[in-house]
Structure 1
Amino acid sequence: MADSQNAQMLNKVPQVTLYFWIIKILATTVGETGADFLNIRLGLGLNGTSVAMTGLLALVLIIQMRNDHYVPWQYWLVVVFLSVVGTLLTDTLTDELGVSLYASTVIFTLALITTFMIWHRSEHTLSIHDIDSVRREAFYWAAILFTFALGTAGGDLVSEKLGQGYLTASVIFGGVIALIAAIYYARWLGPVIAFWLAYILTRPLGASIGDLLTQAKDAGGLGFGTMPTSGVFLIIIVCLVIYLSKSKIDSPIGVEGR
């Protein structure tokens, strides 16, 4: 049950529609390409990019959490920044601290499991349909951050460390997501577990797609570059968020009239 001081807060997470997954994958890809663009192309460096993006994430997260209902542009802005910061967490461990992708994958897996355990022990649910208090929303965003960091580490592990390449990695992660969806619709898997498994795996899927589009051809990519890819995907995200803001088709129950 939500804290009494937050009793009037409405669910802060949109309905899980096709638009949700499309924007999630696009935001995930932007996290991968955007971090590389700021770090390398603009020359901010890994540390400079991490500081700047973490500061901006804190700002948009404060704006998001001060509201008492779902607002599309606020929600998805947080997701985009979390995607970038999650990527930078893994890159910092790998490039700055020399932590292997095997180790970082284990580290973020344990961090995510721990977050889920504390969340469930505190709130007795992991459902995204019950993000109706500040504490639950804090658990939700912490879990999202670790899914992005874990997805980055896992995606890089499969595509680079294990030598599968970006295209093969995209097919692998896309196939596993499709399998989870099939098991869910066959009613062999509960909705909460199915959602979080799919959410975790869309991160390495988006990261692999991002690398496939941006990396040079001799590195296994298509060579489109980080700036064009990030720009196009951001434009699509903005258009979809504007549509959702006007149509309200993804608004949680009770928010439609806002």
Structure 2
Amino acid sequence: MSGALTAALVGLALLDSASFGTLLIPVWLLLTPGRLRPGRIVAYLATVAGAYFCIGVLLTLGADAALEAARRALDGIPATHLRLGQLVLGVLVIAWSYWLEARARRQDDTPGRVRRWRARAMSGDGGVGGLMGLAMTAVGLEAATMLPYLAAVGLIAEADITVPLTGAVLAGYCVVMTLPAIVLAVARFAAHHRADPVLRRVNDWLTRNSARALGWTVGGIGIGVTLNAVVSLLVDQP
């Protein structure tokens, strides 16, 4: 694997790490009143990482066939036309991101749904099974919008690496994706009183902005697609 691919995957994993399921719910678990049980956060994060890994394996298995079909469909189209199409797509994705953020502002549901999720996460009821169910529900809700993960799977499939290395890369991605939550958990267990104010600030920021995070993610991907098309068009000019 090249250094550029590794850097791209790490960046996408860190982007994924700030999602509702990978960071906000773990922060709520860490803020649970009373004695904090390490097994709760371990069970939750292991379930999330395992679910993402399985989804990645399934997507990777079908990615090669999808990429080959796309190559055959695009074969014979001039490169300049393809880059222009990519440019249009990037601009449309950026416009879509603004629409998503505007909708999030209009439909801010912090008083309702987010608080119900927070109450469920912090209740302490249901044991490990309940936490694993909560983790699977969070992954399921995010499945339709896991754009960074889909981009990462596409990069891995395009890299044409061996099956064992593909599995190792997917596993590493899932570890990096849960790393911020792991760091906060370690800080919470090691220095409860000093870490608690930090966790509350993280919680406040994520609770206010979690509904808008999808718009930011989509916008970042759109900007990347657009810039890549512009650079390619400039470089390919005779």
Name the structure where helix makes up a greater proportion of residues: 2
Greater gyration radius: 2
Which TM-score band applies after superposition, normalised by the shorter structure? Answer: 0.3 to 0.5
